Copies of this chain bind each other. A is one copy, B any other.
Amino acid sequence: MNNTQVILKSRPKGMVTLENFEVRTGEAPTPGEGQLLVKNLFLSVDPYMRGRMNAARTYAANFEVGEVVPGRTVGRVIASRNPGFAEGDTVLTGLGWENYSLSAERGLRRLPDDAEHLSAYLGVLGMPGFTGYYGLLEIGRPRPGETVYVSGAAGAVGSVVGQIAKLAGCRVVGSAGSDEKVAHLLELGFDGAFNYRAAGSLRKAVRSACPDGIDIYFDNVGGETLEAALATMNTYGRIVACGAISRYNDAELRPGPNNMFLVIARRLKIQGFIISDHEAHRSAFEADMTRWLAEGKVRYRETVTEGVENAPKAFLQLFTGNKIGKQIVRVG
């Protein structure tokens, strides 16, 4: 069995490129005592991975140069020497960008036998969905009638945030980087949406899309978008600091918002979080999200790239904006 693997060849300086990766092909490994062999079906590429490609420490251990890029996958157990898992089990893993992975029991989670949409466990039912759910509900704490603005709204996290905010009775505005994405947001039920690339003044675009001001800003983007949102925040507003995709590929630190004084003047709260700290909330999330999906109250879209060797290309699309919803790689 041939095993195609994507290796982190070098740490990106500034914008990540295809040259930072190398594709290798070798033999699939054989499980030793206590191990199992997983055939990966779907790989996840996520923006947070960019930070882990740097040498500087962020909130988690960094990826190693010369090693397979680690990441979430959905896979099937095809050989097991571990009593905890049997051949044929479908599992959610943190293994990485390759066809076949050896694994111990740790870090694997068995998915339901009747799971219909396996890739959803990498998106709406997985880490990104949980991130949007927790961040909006526990940090943002939406109240009916409030205005929620979410940037990166057509992404895996943003699209969940907007739809849950609608369920919570809020007016929801999203921004994204193409007219096609904007159309998708309106189709998902967003009350307002704009293409920030065509907006001219970002401040004016935010203000005009949120005429009653913003009560909750769910920030996936950082940078100028955060500054523009700050300018439109209402008194007692909450900023859920979830991501800063506009800055992940910066080679140098750039200045922050020039209107931080508004944090005091308008009594704002800015709070950052990392979803892995909040496992205690996961079962509530899964119960709610499973129900919402079944009832058609939350919908999701995926952009699927074929072949593990194309994982770097899929990863780059997170930053160039050529994808809608959750970016997935289907392993050949």
Q: Which residues of A contact B (CB under 8 A)?
A: 51, 58-59, 222, 226-227, 235, 241-244, 247, 253-274, 277
B277 touches A264 (CB 8 A): no
- The distance from the CB of A256 to the nearest CB of chain B, in whole angstroms, is 3
A270 touches B267 (CB 8 A): no
A257: contacting residue among B241, B256, B262, CB under 8 A: B256
> Which residues in B have their C-beta under 8 angstroms from that of A58?
265
B267 touches A274 (CB 8 A): yes
Known: A255-B256, A256-B260. A59 touches B272 (CB 8 A): no
A222 touches B261 (CB 8 A): yes
A244 touches B272 (CB 8 A): no
Name which residue of chain B comes closest to A270, CB basis: B270
Could you list 10 examples of A-B contacts with CB < 8 Å?
A227-B256, A241-B263, A242-B264, A253-B259, A257-B260, A263-B272, A264-B273, A265-B272, A265-B274, A268-B271
> Which residues in B have their C-beta under 8 angstroms from that of A244?
260-261, 264
> Which residues in B have their C-beta under 8 angstroms from that of A265?
51, 58-59, 272, 274
A253 touches B258 (CB 8 A): yes
Query: What's the number of copies of this chain in the assembled complex?
Result: 2
Known: A255-B256, A270-B270. A261 touches B247 (CB 8 A): yes
> Which residues in B have their C-beta under 8 angstroms from that of A227?
256
Max chain B C-beta neighbours (<10 A), residue from A247, A267, A272: A272
> Which residues in B have their C-beta under 8 angstroms from that of A51?
265
A272 touches B277 (CB 8 A): no
> Which residues in B have their C-beta under 8 angstroms from that of A258?
253-256
A264: contacting residue among B243, B254, B255, B261, CB under 8 A: B243
> Which residues in B have their C-beta under 8 angstroms from that of A59?
235, 264-267
Known: A244-B260, A255-B255; 4 extra A-B contacts, CB below 8 A, are A244-B264, A253-B259, A254-B258, A257-B260
In the bound assembly, the distance between CA atoms of A273 and B266 in angstroms comes to 8
In the bound assembly, the distance between CA atoms of A258 and B256 in angstroms comes to 5
In the bound assembly, the distance between CA atoms of A141 and B265 in angstroms comes to 21
Max chain B C-beta neighbours (<10 A), residue from A222, A244, A260, A272: A260
In the bound assembly, the distance between CA atoms of A118 and B144 in angstroms comes to 47
A222 touches B260 (CB 8 A): yes
In the bound assembly, the distance between CA atoms of A256 and B258 in angstroms comes to 5
In the bound assembly, the distance between CA atoms of A255 and B253 in angstroms comes to 12
In the bound assembly, the distance between CA atoms of A242 and B267 in angstroms comes to 10
Name which residue of chain B comes closest to A48, CB basis: B264
B277 touches A267 (CB 8 A): yes
In the bound assembly, the distance between CA atoms of A235 and B272 in angstroms comes to 10
- The distance from the CB of A102 to the nearest CB of chain B, in whole angstroms, is 31
- The distance from the CB of A63 to the nearest CB of chain B, in whole angstroms, is 16
> Which residues in B have their C-beta under 8 angstroms from that of A222?
260-261
- The distance from the CB of A58 to the nearest CB of chain B, in whole angstroms, is 5
In the bound assembly, the distance between CA atoms of A314 and B89 in angstroms comes to 75
> Which residues in B have their C-beta under 8 angstroms from that of A273?
264, 267
